[in-house]
A and B are shown apart, each in its own frame.
Chain A
């Protein structure tokens, strides 16, 4: 295996750092406290629930640890964490429920 060249590595580190900062800064930095239109705010209210579930859904359905094979313990743990979080509104209880479900099922089925 050939080594990654220093030029390529540092170009990526610095380019990705600058690019990511620009993505993170654009709205917050340039718009600041200027008012945004109501239709845009209406959409932005749903950013968190529109991105985070989509971010984790493939990791739940096709976990990398099982090479993308559907895995009953992981899916059940995800459902448990979601249900407890929804019912109790308590993030820590939800994480605990997910972890306990995952480890028990891995132990029972493994």
Chain B
């Protein structure tokens, strides 16, 4: 609690740097793993690094690399990896009310740096700090990626240069889920948020048989609808008598 209250007093820049910090520990092994797998698939360091700089999306990169390695037709590789990245479009829509007023050149860079990590940090921070101006929100956003992204590139290159296994006794596979789960907890502020999160888990497990990671899209859209409906329902229960007769 006190840590959270203290953070309210900090500038957007400092908050962004602080919130991005935990991901540094995760992004290094994750980036190295991509570099190592790329090297094993025959990519040189420049090719592996280009992959991470141009695409800058962990899960989609792993998908594309694996399918390339299996000599799947190029068009199918592209479609599958883009499907994995479809959630970025929803992130972009969700950030628009906060960052849409920024100058075009800033929005271009924000789009490039839209990652699971920066998005999750930003949405949580914007809900904590509703008084922030558009420029403060932009500053916060860039502060979260200032360390994550260079380290993602560097770790990829280092892994490709190293070219053999990262020690797997450390259960590093679970570092990525843990960081996201830790961020989800504080986001569950209302019944509507909790209902959406629960629906997301159930739907993604039920629809995990769908190809191209489309189960996540079904879960995402379904859970957003459930969140919105529960919000409406809770609002109506709060004001039972007074009109409020829109739907």
Contacts and interface: CB of A to CB of B under 8 A. Distances in A.
Interface string A45-83: 111111111111111110111000000001001100111
The B interface is mostly helix, strand or loop, or mixed, namely helix
B224 A54 contact: no
B107 A49 contact: no
B96 A85 contact: no
Contacts of A65: 168, 171, 173-174
Contacts of A39: 228
- Give the most central of A24, A47, A78, A89: most B CB within 10 Å: A24
B154 interface: no
Contact of A19 (B56, B85, B182, B231): B85
Interface string A93-110: 111001100110010000
Contacts of B19: 91
Contact of A36 (B47, B82, B96): B96
Nearest to A35: B97
A23 B86 contact: yes
Contacts of A52: 116, 120, 180, 183-184, 187, 200
Given A47-B123, A54-B219, A95 B192 contact: no
Nearest to A31: B96
Contacts of A82: 181-182, 184-185
A59 B59 CA distance: 12
B200 A51 contact: yes
Interface residues of A, number: 76
Contacts of B99: 28
B162 interface: no
B19 to A, nearest CB: 7
Nearest to B81: A16
Interface residues of B, number: 97
A28 to B, nearest CB: 5
Nearest to B115: A24
B54 A13 contact: yes
A15 B173 contact: no
Given A4-B43, A47-B94, A78 B178 contact: yes
B4 A51 contact: no
Given A28-B107, A32-B100, A54 B91 contact: no
B181 A94 contact: yes
A55 B107 contact: no
Contacts of B42: 3-4
Interface in B88-123: 88-97, 99-101, 104, 107-108, 110-112, 114, 116, 119-120, 123
Interface of B: 1, 3-4, 19, 22, 41-43, 47, 50-51, 54-57, 60-61, 64, 68-69, 71, 74, 77-78, 81-82, 85-97, 99-101, 104, 107-108, 110-112, 114, 116, 119-120, 123-124, 168, 171, 173-174, 176-188, 192-193, 196-201, 203-205, 208, 215-216, 219-228, 231-232
Interface of A: 2-4, 8-9, 11-17, 19-21, 23-29, 31-34, 36, 39-61, 63-65, 74, 77-78, 81-95, 98-99, 102-103, 106
10 contacts: A8-B74, A8-B77, A20-B55, A27-B92, A47-B224, A49-B196, A49-B197, A52-B184, A59-B176, A98-B178
